[in-house]
Amino acid sequence: MSFLFGGDNMNNCIEIKNVNKFYGKKQALFDIDLTIEQGMFGLLGRNGAGKTTLMKTLAALHQKKSGEITVCGLPIEKAKDIRAITGYLPQEFSMYPNMKTDEALDYLGALSGVPANERKKKVTALLRRVNLIDHRHKKVKELSGGMKRRLGIAQALIHDPKVLIVDEPTAGLDPEERIRFRNLLCEVAEDRIVILSTHIVGDIEATCEQIAIMDEGKVLWRGTVSSLLENARGHIYTANVEKRFLPQIKREFIVTGMIAQSDYTTVRIVSDAEPDLPNVVLTEPDLEGAYMYCLHSSGCDISGGEE
């Protein structure tokens, strides 16, 4: 399925076909195939999986070695045009610490090519949208981590891009700020593509229906969160075990949770087959368990069961 923008007939999705990327001799992306449509899309994977490499490639900040990418109908080779319709918030976002917040945003708007006569209005509207209007006269270095991240979103949106790419934005945020930031992303995704890369399963659970899981430069899974949960059905167990057996259980199984009781511990286990443990019970899959099952089981079907 693809969506059309109001009048400009641009295909509102990102198509990625057989994309490979190398850093020197090191291959970082292997035959990536994905279609990303309007709304929130989650890219989940552990450190080094290739998420940043893929996101920078989609933002036309990196060149691929082979394959095809189109962003809203534009081939990725048209880097300048792609950057004009893409906002990017990198993992390490730092900018002009001694400028006031509104001045910094205005300056970044100028760098993004927003005309001077439109900037003042845009800066005020965006600061309002990301809930920083009351802090506009503070220096950037005086903002909290979460506020800086929200300012990062404002700068990524200043040229009103059709695509917003955000790389691990919630690391280091407290729970309240993390929730606020995720809600902001969801609002922004109402009328554009938002790609959220993270290794935090909770961020995906709260915001994305469509996801891809990457590992070692490959897409292990693509599909819906519910199909990922369904894939793990029959493979997630709990058991009450004596504490002295815990080291052995952790060696033999993927343990995703432990709750210490007075004389035993309830462990949550991801396993292909039923573990040979006392009181073992099959349980409803949770997303963290389903993600671990996908990472560690050989039976993870890349299509997510949806063609």
Q: Interface residues with ligand ATP (CB under 6 A)?
A: 23, 26, 28, 45, 47-53, 199
151 secondary structure, DSSP code? H
Tally the residues of the chain.
Answer: 307
CA distances from 193 to 114, 118, 130, 165, 284 (A): 21, 24, 18, 8, 31
Locate all alpha helices (DSSP H) within the chain, ordered by sequence.
51-58, 79-84, 101-111, 116-129, 145-157, 175-188, 201-207, 225-231, 246-252, 287-296
238 secondary structure, DSSP code? E
Closest distance between ligand ATP and the C-beta of residue 217, in Å?
6
Closest distance between ligand ATP and the C-beta of residue 65, in Å?
13
Contact status, residue 87 vs residue 108, Cβ threshold 8 Å: no
Closest distance between ligand ATP and the C-beta of residue 83, in Å?
19
Nearer to ligand ATP, 47 or 261 (CB): 47
Nearer to ligand ATP, 63 or 98 (CB): 63
Nearer to ligand ATP, 60 or 158 (CB): 60
Closest distance between ligand ATP and the C-beta of residue 69, in Å?
16
Nearer to ligand ATP, 48 or 73 (CB): 48
**What residues have CB less than 8 Å from 289, skipping those under 6 apart?**
232, 235, 236, 256, 268, 270
Closest distance between ligand ATP and the C-beta of residue 260, in Å?
31
Closest distance between ligand ATP and the C-beta of residue 165, in Å?
12
Nearer to ligand ATP, 21 or 235 (CB): 21
Pick left, alpha or beta for residue 139 (phi over 0 → left; psi -120 to 50 → alpha; otherwise beta): beta
Closest distance between ligand ATP and the C-beta of residue 47, in Å?
3
Nearer to ligand ATP, 5 or 30 (CB): 30
Give bridge partners of residue 95 from the DSSP assignment. Answer: none
Nearer to ligand ATP, 86 or 101 (CB): 86
**Amino acid letter, 104:** A
**What residues have CB less than 8 Å from 143, skipping those under 6 apart?**
101, 132, 135, 151
Closest distance between ligand ATP and the C-beta of residue 57, in Å?
9
Pick left, alpha or beta for residue 305 (phi over 0 → left; psi -120 to 50 → alpha; otherwise beta): left
**What residues have CB less than 8 Å from 204, skipping those under 6 apart?**
42, 44, 196, 198, 211, 225, 287
Nearer to ligand ATP, 58 or 71 (CB): 58
Task: Please state, in angstroms and rounded to a whole number, the distance separating the CA atoms of residues 89 and 6.
Answer: 26
